[in-house]
């Protein structure tokens, strides 16, 4: 039923001005729409991400958005680090840490958080 319909990620934040600096200035996303002072809509490739104000911001303890970046993962992670992004390091079975990349066989993943604690990641897949 929904398999052929695009989906949109929704990220709760406490302060839209702080979120705007991070998502536009740090991650380089482009704003395509807004709904007053409550929602900013960003384009990321062919998808959209709604960043909205909520009292529940930062309560999700799992990954909220993943960017599949292919073999550029190391270069992109370094560029984001140069813009002040701090990467998370997790102790996971059968995983080795190479710099900020978690390596599990052929898969490489780098996790980081936005200013509200939303967990985001890059994956080479």
Percentage with pLDDT > 90 across the chain: 90
pLDDT in tens, 38-97: 999 999 999 999 999 999 998 999 999 999 999 999 999 999 999 999 999 999 999 999
**Helix/strand/coil for 20:** helix
Q: 7 falls in which pLDDT band (50, 70, 90)?
A: confident
Q: What six digits make up the tokens of 25?
A: 């200035």
* Element containing residue 75 per DSSP (H, E): helix 73-82
Query: What letters, b where the CB count within 10 A reaches 16 and e where it falls short, cover 95-104?
Result: eeeeebbbee
Q: Which residues pair with 109 in a beta bridge?
A: 102, 123
Q: Which residues pair with 119 in a beta bridge?
A: 63, 113
* Element containing residue 44 per DSSP (H, E): strand 39-44
Domains and CATH numbers, the chain: 9-123 (3.10.180.10)
Q: Is the pLDDT of residue 125 over 90?
A: no
The model's pTM: 0.92
């Amino acid at each position: 039923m929904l398999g052929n319909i695009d989906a949109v990620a929704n990220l709760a934040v406490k302060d839209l001005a702080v979120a705007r600096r991070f998502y536009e200035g740090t991650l380089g996303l482009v704003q395509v729409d807004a709904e007053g002072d409550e929602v900013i809509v960003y384009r990321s490739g062919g998808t959209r991400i709604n960043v909205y104000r909520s009292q529940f911001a930062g309560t999700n303890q799992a990954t909220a958005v993943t960017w599949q970046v292919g073999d550029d993962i190391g270069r992109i992670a370094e560029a984001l680090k140069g813009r002040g992004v701090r990467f998370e390091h997790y102790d996971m079975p059968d995983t080795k840490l190479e710099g900020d990349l978690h390596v599990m066989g052929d898969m490489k993943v780098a996790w980081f958080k936005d200013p509200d604690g939303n967990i985001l990641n890059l994956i080479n897949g």
